[in-house]
Structures are given as structure tokens and as C-alpha cells.
Amino acid sequence: MPEGLAFGLQWGGYALELVLLIILLSRGYLHSLRSLCVFVGTLLAVDAGVRPLSLFLYGVRSNAYYDLYWVTDLVLVLASFALICAFFRRACLQHHEIWKLVRPALVIVFVLELGISSATFLRQYHNNLLATRFMYGFSQDLYFTCVVLTTALYLMLEWFKSRDHLLHLLVCGLGIQYAGPAANTALYLITSNSDARHLLAYLLPVCNAAMLAIWVYAVARQPRSAVGRLRVAA
């Protein structure tokens, strides 16, 4: 039963990613929400392409699959960081003076995150120290950084009293996607319990599916006339 559930969640996630990408492209969001389209495309390519292919080629217990899994995880978190930056830009469209402050702050955080993550990762990789515990700690920090940034964005939208409902829902989805895994990886690191590790195998796809479902709803709910307006604004 749990294996069936994990399988269902996995394939449900792929289906939602594909549906979202189709809706985004068919409704002409490629111009107005380019960053989101690129992110969903990357997510689909990694989840439904690169990872299953490497699993098929190398097997679940191989080092190649293990390394590739964590590297793609890092790529996805960095991609979502870029997405959050794009959302910040969109939130500040009518507040240029705020954007002038936010932009350098985002650049500094991004450089720090990229630098520290890559340096730590490469050092561990060269020393063959990519232990599971290290990877969980590494992921926890990346997820938590994304949660903090998403929350800052959410608070900014509330402060601006933004009427961009689409952006509000997109941000809520991102928050769910990263808060759940951050909490779960922290739980694993505190308890070192295998149950907490198994929980992550379910919580991660559940949070991913929740985010995608909210995004599908947000994008599908948007009337076509509003998409045109968004394109002009972009």
C-alpha cells in the first residue's frame, strides 16, 4: 500500500506538471510569466526525464543515481530561488523605489547561497563525503532559505495591498512546497529516525502536488482578458 501510494503521488505530480505547462503555454503565459514557464519546464524535465532515465540506466543503489539526484535537487532549489526573484520583481512593478532596495539584497542572498552551497557541496563531493546526513542538512538550509524569502515576498504583497491574486496564489504554493520539506528534513536531523526519512518520501511529493494544484487553479481561474493585460504589463 505505501509503495502504491508513493507511486501514485509520483505519477500524479508528473501529470500536474504536464497539465500546468500545457495551460501556461496554451493560454499565452510564455511572455507574461516566462520565469514560471521555465521553472515548470525544468521541474518536468528533471522529474519526468532526467531522474527516471538515470534510475533506469544506473539503478537505485548506484552512486551515479545518488549524486545525480542531489545535484538535480540543488538545481531545482536554485531555479526556485530565481523564480522567487522574478516574483519579487513582479510584486515591485509599481514600487520602483522598493525594487531598488530589494534587488541588491536579492543579488547578495543569491550569490551567498550559490557560493556557500556550491563550495560546501564540491568540497564534500571531492572528498567523497556526500553522506546522507550531510545532504539532508544541506537541503534543509536551501529549503529554509526559500521559505524565508517566500515569506518576505508574501509580507511585501500584504504590505502593498496588492490585488494581483495570481501572484498571491503562486506565492502560497511556493510556501507550501518548501515549508513542508524544510520541516521534515529538520525533523530527520533532530531525531535521526528512519521514520522521519520515510515520511519525507511522501511529504515531498504531497507538498509538490499541493503547490502544482494551487498553481493550476490560479492560472486556470485567470480570465483570458487578464492574461492579455498581464502580457502588456510584462
Residues that bind another protein (CB under 8 A): 137, 140, 143-144, 147, 151, 154, 165, 168-169, 172-173, 175-176, 179-180, 182-183, 186-187, 189-190, 207, 210, 213-214, 216-217, 221
The distance of closest approach from Cβ of residue 182 to another protein in the complex, given in angstroms and rounded to an integer, is 4
Smaller CB distance to another protein: residue 91 or 176? Answer: 176
Which amino acid, residue 121?
F
Those residues whose C-beta lies under 8 Å from the C-beta of residue 207, and which sit 6 or more positions away, are 176, 177, 178, 179, 180, 181
Q: Which is nearer to another protein, 63 or 191 (CB)?
A: 191
Return the residue matching grid coordinates 518548501: 178
Nearer to another protein, 42 or 177 (CB): 177
Residue found under cell 520583481: 89
**Cell (9 digits) for 175:** 510556501
In the complex, the smallest distance separating the C-beta of residue 210 from another protein, rounded to whole angstroms, is 8
Instruction: Give the whole-angstrom CA distance, residue 40 versus residue 34.
Output: 10
Q: How far is the CB of 97 from another protein (least distance, A)?
A: 27
**Number of C-beta neighbours around residue 201 at 10 A:** 14
Nearer to another protein, 95 or 168 (CB): 168
Q: Which set of grid coordinates corresponds to residue 151?
A: 515569506
Provide, rounded to whole angstroms, the least separation between the CB of residue 148 and another protein.
8
